[in-house]
Amino acid sequence: MTVVVKLGGSLAAAGTLASWLAVVIEHGGGRVVVVPGGGAFADAVREAQRRDGFSDLAAHRMAVLAMEQYAWMLFDLAPMLVPCASLPEMRAALGDGSVALWLPSRMVLADPRIAGNWQVTSDSIAAWLARRLEAQHLVLVKSASAPPAAAVELAALGYVDPAFPAYAEAALCPVCFCGPRETACLAAALALR
């Protein structure tokens, strides 16, 4: 079983990142591919775009690199994660019983079908990867709890990006949202066989 777990960038600011990493490491060996959010690194891109006026395409590329910066921070905090830039690397890490940590820039920036704007953020990119990996489960871990609503409604509320409903549908797997103090929800999702 492969589970894609997106660890939101906001978890670092909320001070809860360490507890989420602990659950992933304890329960995710051989099954989990971690997708990094963008967090403060992506926020810096948004601020720079407002200030300097560069295009959405440039901002998208920079935001994907922000996800990669967050990934390297995650690796420093949890060096047992295995950084991976390709599907074969992820599959090898999982085959070794490890937790794979995705470095997304190579794969995402090589796919022209992914819209190069703010309609697509790390949430949709996580669903895109879940489809590529034929994952059995997609878990989005955020610093805010998801209201009980369909993906389209969550996008309208700004909980996920506007493109997420289509990417989630294409992923062909169940999607689970974990919010504050819901580490048990993640542990339960990872315990599924």
CA distances 27 to 24, 84, 191, Å, are 5, 19, 7
Element counts in the chain: helices (H) and strands (E)? 10, 6
CATH superfamily for 3-191 is Acetylglutamate kinase-like (3.40.1160.10)
The whole-number pLDDT of residue 182 equals 85
pTM of the entire predicted model: 0.95
Question: What is the strand order of the sheet 137-141 is part of?
Answer: 82-84, 100-102, 32-36, 3-7, 137-141, 175-178
pLDDT tens-digit readout, 81-112: 999 999 999 999 999 999 999 999 999 999 99
CA distances 110 to 93, 116, 120, 134, 181, Å, are 22, 11, 15, 19, 36
Phi/psi for 89 (5° steps) reads -65, -40
